[in-house]
Structure 1
Amino acid sequence: MYKQVLAPLLGSLGWSSLVAAAPLIVLFVLLGVVRMRAWLAALISLAVSVVVAIFVYPMPVGAALLSASEGAAFGFFPILWIVINAIWIYTMTVYTGHFDVLRRSFARVSDDQRIQGVIIAFSFGALLEALAGFGTPVAISSVMLIALGFKPLKAATVSLVANTAPVAFGALAVPITTLATVTGLPLQSLSSMVGRQTPILGVFVPLVLVLIIDGARGVRQTWPGALLCGVVFAVTQFAVSNYVSAPLTDIVASLLSAGALVLFLRVWQPTRPEEALVEPGATRVAGATVAAGTGTPSLVTDRPATGSGGSGGSDGGTGSDNGTGSDGGAGGADAAIRDSRAEVFRAYAPYLIIIAVFALAQVPAIKDALTSVTKTFHWPGLNIVSPSGKASTLPAFKFDWLDAAGTLLVIAGLLTIPVIRIRPARALHAYFATYRQLAPAIVTVMAVLALAYVMNASGQTTTLGTWMAGAGGIFALLSPVLGWLGVAVTGSDTSSNSLFGGLQVVAAQKVGLSTVLMAAANSSGGVLGKMISPQNLAIAAAAVGLSGREGDLFRRVFLWSLVFLAVMCLVVLLQSTSLLSWMVVG
C-alpha cells in the first residue's frame, strides 16, 4: 500500500509543487516549442511523471506502473471508445457520399465561409459535443470545414476554439454528473452554477471564430449573425441548465442557435467583397467554395481519390465507393447536383439516430437494464491512501460496457448501416480504417491519461492543488486555472472534475468560499483547456491530415485559451464577491 505524501521535497510545498509540475511543463514545451509529435511528447512526459513519482514522492515502481496502466485503460475506455465509434459513423457517411449531401445542405444555407464556420464549428459542433464529446466534434467539424474550402490548419483551429462553451455539458452532461459524484454536491446546483458561467463564453465564441477566419473585417461584416447565434446559445444554455435538465442543455442550445441563425439569414446577409474568402485555387460554386483539385477530405486514407459522392448516395450506387461522384476534382460539378429529399434525410439520419438512441437510453427502464451489467472493480495490485489516511477511490475502475456512450454509438452505427445503404462489409472496413487513421491519436490519449493517473495516484496533483489553495481568498481567481490545467493534461472535463473536484470543495471550505461556486469553476475553467490538450490536438491534426503538426495547432490556439481563461477567472472572482454574488446558487 502506498500512502501519498503532500510535500516530499524538503518538506516544502512550494518546491514540491515545482517538481510536481515538471511533467506538465515538459509536455507543453515539447508541443509548443520543440514541435514534437503529440504521441511522442505524451510518452516522454509520461516517463517524466513516473520518474518524479518514484524518485521524489517516493511511490513504489509497481504502483507507479499500475496507475499508468489504469490511466491508459481509462483513456481507451470510455474516452477513445466514444471518439472511435463516432468517427466510424462519420466515415461510413463518407463512403456512401452522404457526407457530401450533408455538406451541400449546410453550404446552401449560406455561401459565406464565416457563417458556415459558425454554423458548423459552433452550433453543429456543440450538438456533436452534446451527444458524444471527447474530441468527436473537433474531428468531424474540421473535416466538414475543409470540404467547404477551408485550409486544413484554419479548419482545425476554428474547430478547436469552437469546442469550448459546450464542453461542460458534453456527452449528455457527463462532466457535471461526475463532478456531483466526486464532490457530493447536488447535481442541479452544479448544473445551474455552470449554466451561469459558460454562457458568458458562448456569447463571444462565434465572434472569435469569425475573427480567426477573416480578421476584424469579417467581424464588422458578420457580427449581427454571429452575435445572434452566440446569444441564443447562451440564453438557452442558461435556461435549460437551470430550469430543465443538464443532459439536454447542449442539445437544445445547439439546435436553437443554428435554427435562429438560419432563419435570420432569410432577412439578412453579411456584406463582403466577393473574392474575400475564396482560398487560392478554389472555385466558388452553387453556394459553396470547393477546394480545387480535391474531393471531400476524409479520415480514411485508402478511399478512392476520384469523386466523393454523387447524388445517388448508396454504397455501390453512384456514391463515393465507385468513384463516379461529381464533387471531386471538378469543383464546379456541385452546381449540377440537386439532392433529393430522401438523400438529404439519409444524410441527416445518422445524427437523428444518435439523438434517438441516447434519448431512449435515458428512459428509466432502459437505463436500468443497460446499467445492470455494469461492473466496478478494484484495479489489481493498486492500493493507495491519501495523506490523511483515507483509501483512494482512484483504483476503482468502472466498466459500464453496455451503458457507455461509445457502446450507444455502436448501436447507432449499426442502425445507420441499412438507412444509408452501405454494405456490411464496407461498414466493417470503415471501422478498421478508423482505427488505423487514429492510431497516433490513440497512443496520445492513452499516454496522457496514464500521465494524469500517475500524477493523481502519486500525489503530484494534490500537491499542486494544495499549493494553489494556499492563496486564500484570491483562490477564487485561481480556481478555474486548476480545471484548465486538468483538462489541458487529460483532454477531458470529466477527468479534470474527477481529479480536482473534491480538492476545489476542500479548498473552498478552508478559505470560506462557496463550495458550489468553486466546484463549478473547475468545470467552467476546464472547458478552456480543451483546445490545448494533446489529445484534442492529436485528433484534430489526424482529422485534417496534419499528423505531426500538433505544435503548429498548439501555438494557434494557446493565446485564445489564455484569453478565455482570463475572462472566466474574472467572472468567478466577481461571483465570489458582493458584485456578482447574486449569481451564485445557494
Structure 2
Amino acid sequence: MWNQIYNPLAGSIWLSTLAAVLPILYFFWALAFRRTKGHIAGLITVVLAFLISVLVYNMPVKMSILSFVYGGAVGLFPIGWIIVTAVFLYKITVKTGKFDIIRASVTNLTDDHRLQALLIAFCFGAFLEGCAGFGTPVVITAALLAGLGFRPLYAAGICLIANTAPVAFGAIGIPITVAGTISGLDPFKISQMVGRQLPLLSIFVPFWLVFVMCGWKKTREVMPAIFVTGGTFAIVQYLSSNFLGPELPDILSSLITLLILSFFLRIWKPKQTFRFDSVTNKTKATETEIAAATEVYSTGQILLAWSPFLLLTGLIVLWSIPAVKNFLNQWTYKWSVPVLHQTVLKMPPIVTKPTPYEAVFTFDWLAAVGTAILIASFFSMFLVGMRFKTWLYTFGETLVELRYPLLTIFSVLGLAYIFNYSGMSATLGLALAKTGVLFPFFAPVLGWLGVFLSGSDTSSNALFGNLQKITANQIGIDPVLTVAANSSGGVTGKMISPQSIAVATASTGLVGKESDLFRFTIKHSLFLVLIICAITLLQAYVLKWMIP
C-alpha cells in the first residue's frame, strides 16, 4: 500500500502546489506561446509530471507508469473510439456526396453562419451532449460547421465554446449523479443548484458565440434569434433541472430550443447575411454564387442525406436508455490494473477516512457510444449507397488521419491519471481550499481545473466533490452550493481541456494546430469561469435564497 501525500515539500502547501502546477504551466506555455504540436506538448508534460510524482511525491515508479498507461487506455477507449467512429460517419456523407445535400438543406433554412452556429453548435450540440457526452457533440458539430463553409478554426472554437452550457447535465446527468455519490449530498438538490447557476450562462453563451464570430455590429443584426435561443434554453434548463432532476435538462432544452428557433427562422430573417466564405453586404456576384451552391432538393433526397445522422441520433438515444444500457453491459469486461488497483490510499481531507483508490479498466465494447456510432456508420453504408470496399478503405483512412490526435488523447489522459493517483491534483485543490471566506469564488476554479486535467465534468466532480463539501462545512457555507459550483465551473474548462482540443482539431482538419485552437479558446474559458465565480460568491453571501 502507498499513501498519497498532499504536502510533500517541507510542510509548505504553497511549495507543494508550485511543484504540482509546474506540468500544467509548461503545457499552457507550450501551447499558448511556443505553439508546440499537441501530441509533442502532451508527451513532454507527461515526462515532467512523471518525474515530479516520483521525485517529489515519492510515488513508486511502477505505480506512476501504470497510472499513465491506465489513463492512456481510457483515452483510447471509450473516448478515442467515439472520435474515430464519429469522424468516420461524417466522412461517409462527404465521400458519397450526401453532405452537399445536407449543406443545401441547412442553407435553405438559413444561409447565415451566425444562425447556423446557433442551430448546430449550440442546439444540436447540446442534444448530443445530453445523450452521449465524452466529446461526441464537438466531433459531430465541428465537422458539420466546417462542411458548411466555416473557417476550420472558428468551426472548432465555436463548438467548444457552445459546449459549455450543457456539460454539467451531459450523458443523462451523470456528472450530477457522481457529484452526489462522492459528496453524499442529494443529487436532486445539486441539480437544482446547478439549474440556478448555469441558466444565467446559457442566456449569455449564444450571444457570445456570435460576438466571437463577427463582432458587436453584426451581432446586433441577429439579436432576436439570440434572445429566442438563449431565453428558451435557459428557461427549459431551469425548469427541468429544478423540477425533474439531472437526467433530462440537456435533451429537453436542446430539442425545444431547436424547434422554436427553426420555426422562428421561417418567419424572421436578418437584413444582411454573414458568411465566412463571402461576408456581405451582398453583391450580385455573391448572390449568384450562393444561388448556384444552393440547389433545391426533394424532401426524400434531404431525408436520405440526413439519414446517417438521424440514425446516429436514434441509436445514441437508444443506447442511453437505462434498460438497454444494462442489457448491453452484460458483455462488458473489467480488468483490475495490477500494482495500482486498491494499492493507493486516498487520505483525509480529500476523503473522510483512508480509502483505497480503485483502478479498473472497463471495456464496454457493446454499450459504448462509439459502438452505437459504428453501427450507424455500417447501416449508413446501405442507406447512402457506398460499396463495402470503399467503406472499409474510408475507415482505414480515418484511423490514419487521426493517429496524432489519438496519441495526444492517450498522453493527456495518462497525464490526468498521474495527477490523480500521485495526489498532485489533490494538492492543487487543497491550495484553493485555503482561501477561506473567498472559497465560494474559487470553488468553480477547482471544477475548471479538474475538467482541464481530465477533460470530463464527471471526473472533476469525482476528484473534488468531497473536498468542496468539507471546505464548505469548515467555513460555514452550504455545501450544496460549492459542490454544484464545481460542476458549473467545470463546464467552462471543457473548451481548453487537451482532450477536447484534440477532438476538435481531429474533426476539422486542424491536426498539428492544437496550439492555435488553445489560444483561441483560453481567453473565453477564463472569462466564462469568472462569471461563474462571481455568481457563486453572490449566492454564498448575498443571494442565499437561491440555494435549495
TM range (shorter): over 0.9
289 and 177 in structure 1: CA distance in 2 versus 1, 3 angstrom threshold: farther
Alpha-carbon distance in 2 for matches of 1:156, 1:349: 24
1:526 maps to a residue whose letter is: G
Quote the residue 2:234 is aligned against.
234
Quote the residue 1:170 is aligned against.
170
Alpha-carbon distance in 2 for matches of 1:231, 1:369: 38
Asked if structure 2 preserves the Cα contact closer than 8 Å seen for 1:83 and 1:134, the reply is no
Deviations 1:352-409 (A, max 9, x none): 3333333334555433322333344421111201234723334233333332222333
Answering whether residue 494 of structure 2 is matched by residue 530 of structure 1, we say: yes
Note the C-alpha offset of 1:277. Answer: 4.1
Stretch moving more, 240-249 or 121-130: 240-249
Alpha-carbon distance in 1 for matches of 2:147, 2:282: 12
Answering whether residue 544 of structure 2 is matched by residue 584 of structure 1, we say: no
Asked if structure 1 preserves the Cα contact closer than 8 Å seen for 2:473 and 2:479, the reply is yes
SS at match of 1:487: helix
Answering whether residue 480 of structure 2 is matched by residue 516 of structure 1, we say: yes
Note the C-alpha offset of 1:60. Answer: 1.0
Asked if structure 2 preserves the Cα contact closer than 8 Å seen for 1:130 and 1:170, the reply is yes
Matches within 5 A, 1:396-545: 396-545=360-509
286 and 241 in structure 1: CA distance in 2 versus 1, 3 angstrom threshold: farther
Asked if structure 2 preserves the Cα contact closer than 8 Å seen for 1:110 and 1:287, the reply is no
Question: Residue 561 of structure 1 is aligned with which of 514, 521, 525?
Answer: 525
Quote the residue 2:268 is aligned against.
268
Answering whether residue 347 of structure 2 is matched by residue 387 of structure 1, we say: yes
Matches within 5 A, 1:344-359: 344-359=302-317
2:202 maps to a residue whose letter is: G
Asked if structure 1 preserves the Cα contact closer than 8 Å seen for 2:104 and 2:296, the reply is no
1:344 maps to a residue whose letter is: I
Question: Residue 277 of structure 2 is aligned with which of 268, 271, 279?
Answer: 279
476 and 115 in structure 1: CA distance in 2 versus 1, 3 angstrom threshold: same
Note the C-alpha offset of 1:574. Answer: 1.6
Asked if structure 1 preserves the Cα contact closer than 8 Å seen for 2:88 and 2:395, the reply is yes
Answering whether residue 330 of structure 2 is matched by residue 372 of structure 1, we say: yes
SS at match of 1:68: helix
1:159 maps to a residue whose letter is: C
Alpha-carbon distance in 1 for matches of 2:180, 2:87: 29
353 and 149 in structure 1: CA distance in 2 versus 1, 3 angstrom threshold: closer
Asked if structure 2 preserves the Cα contact closer than 8 Å seen for 1:285 and 1:331, the reply is no
RMSD: 2.6
Stretch moving more, 66-75 or 536-545: 536-545
Note the C-alpha offset of 1:514. Answer: 2.3
Stretch moving more, 439-448 or 49-58: 439-448
Answering whether residue 513 of structure 2 is matched by residue 549 of structure 1, we say: yes
Identity over the aligned pairs, expressed in percent? 41
552 and 244 in structure 1: CA distance in 2 versus 1, 3 angstrom threshold: same
Note the C-alpha offset of 1:520. Answer: 1.6
Quote the residue 1:334 is aligned against.
293
2:61 maps to a residue whose letter is: V
Note the C-alpha offset of 1:465. Answer: 0.8
Note the C-alpha offset of 1:113. Answer: 1.9
Asked if structure 1 preserves the Cα contact closer than 8 Å seen for 2:132 and 2:320, the reply is no
Asked if structure 2 preserves the Cα contact closer than 8 Å seen for 1:108 and 1:288, the reply is no
404 and 283 in structure 1: CA distance in 2 versus 1, 3 angstrom threshold: farther
Note the C-alpha offset of 1:217. Answer: 0.6
Alpha-carbon distance in 1 for matches of 2:281, 2:268: 24
2:336 maps to a residue whose letter is: H
Matches within 5 A, 1:8-23: 8-23=8-23
Alpha-carbon distance in 1 for matches of 2:181, 2:89: 31
SS at match of 1:385: strand
**TM-score, normalised on structure 1?**
0.86
Asked if structure 2 preserves the Cα contact closer than 8 Å seen for 1:496 and 1:526, the reply is yes
Deviations 1:86-144 (A, max 9, x none): 22222222222222222221111112221122212211222232233333322332232
1:457 maps to a residue whose letter is: Y
Asked if structure 2 preserves the Cα contact closer than 8 Å seen for 1:164 and 1:531, the reply is yes
Asked if structure 1 preserves the Cα contact closer than 8 Å seen for 2:307 and 2:383, the reply is yes
Answering whether residue 72 of structure 2 is matched by residue 72 of structure 1, we say: yes
Quote the residue 2:91 is aligned against.
91
Answering whether residue 123 of structure 2 is matched by residue 123 of structure 1, we say: yes
Note the C-alpha offset of 1:531. Answer: 1.2
Alpha-carbon distance in 2 for matches of 1:161, 1:123: 12
Note the C-alpha offset of 1:179. Answer: 2.5
SS at match of 1:369: helix
Note the C-alpha offset of 1:284. Answer: 8.1
402 and 180 in structure 1: CA distance in 2 versus 1, 3 angstrom threshold: farther
Which runs of 5 or more residues in structure 2 are unaligned?
none
Aligned residues: 542
Stretch moving more, 131-140 or 339-348: 131-140
512 and 140 in structure 1: CA distance in 2 versus 1, 3 angstrom threshold: same
146 and 246 in structure 1: CA distance in 2 versus 1, 3 angstrom threshold: same
Note the C-alpha offset of 1:473. Answer: 2.5
Quote the residue 1:161 is aligned against.
161
Question: Residue 343 of structure 1 is aligned with which of 297, 301, 310?
Answer: 301
Which runs of 5 or more residues in structure 1 are unaligned?
291-329
Determine which structure has the larger helix proportion and give its number: 2
2:506 maps to a residue whose letter is: A
338 and 180 in structure 1: CA distance in 2 versus 1, 3 angstrom threshold: same
Deviations 1:473-520 (A, max 9, x none): 321110110111111222222222222223222222332322222222
**TM-score, normalised on structure 2?**
0.92
Matches within 5 A, 1:48-63: 48-63=48-63
Asked if structure 1 preserves the Cα contact closer than 8 Å seen for 2:138 and 2:159, the reply is yes
